[in-house]
Structure 1
Amino acid sequence: MDLISKVQSGNIIKADNTTKNVSNVDFKELLVNALEEVNKDQLYAEEMDQKFMLGEVSNIHDVMIASQKAELSLSFAVEVRNKVLEAYKEIMRIQM
């Protein structure tokens, strides 16, 4: 289950497999959990690549799916970072 569907369901599952209601989660915790998921996807894709090269995994489809999932999650994280930075810059431009 990806982070978006976890949030839509009203719960998020943290890295230590504990569940927390979204209304009780602060923004920092949400970002940390999302980045942990991205990191987990990247590590899994790297592990699958290594297993494929060693001949431990014969199904190239699983390797490609893991690789694409890692690529998409990283791209999504970069886009979220860019939007947060844009919002921060916009807030800093507001004159009081």
Structure 2
Amino acid sequence: MEVHMSPIAPLWNDDMVQESSAARNNEAPAIPFADVFQSAIDSVKETDATKNELQYLEATGQLDNPAELVIAENQAILSVQLLVQLRDRALDAYSEVMRISM
């Protein structure tokens, strides 16, 4: 009784490795964390100013659509939460770096 088995194909070959390294070289440049953090701060300021303006318009009876205020309040809350999460992640990363012994 003869058993004919075909060889197992490799999971990757040299061409695939070269393609992946070429793809890594063509990636977009990384955005510095300071720019991301500053963008989050600017977003908090902008959404808070919009929320405050809409609250003023509502208080004076000039706001036509109250849903705009609810949306602005939720956007302000989300932008603050994002900023807090970024801060927490930065502090966690800093703590990890400080724990590394040389």
The two structures have a TM-score, normalised by structure 1, of: 0.70
Q: Match of 1:23, SS?
A: coil
| Structure 1: gaps spanning 5 or more residues | 1-21
Flag the structure with higher strand content.
Answer: 1
Identical amino acids, percent of aligned pairs: 28
Q: Compute the displacement of 1:26 (Å).
A: 2.6
Larger Rg: 2
The amino acid across from 1:82 in the alignment is D
Q: Compute the displacement of 1:37 (Å).
A: 1.4
| Structure 2: gaps spanning 5 or more residues | 1-27
Regions of 4+ moved over 2 Å? 22-27
Count of residue pairs brought into register by the alignment: 75
CA distance in 2, matches of 1:90, 1:24: 21
CA distance in 1, matches of 2:67, 2:39: 27
Give the match for residue 41 of structure 1. 47
CA distance in 2, matches of 1:24, 1:91: 20
Specify which of 30, 33, 36 is matched with residue 27 of structure 1.
Answer: 33
The CA RMSD over aligned residues, in Å, is: 1.5
Q: Which has the higher contact order (CA 8 A, sep 6+)?
A: 2
Q: Compute the displacement of 1:30 (Å).
A: 2.4
Give the match for residue 91 of structure 1. 97
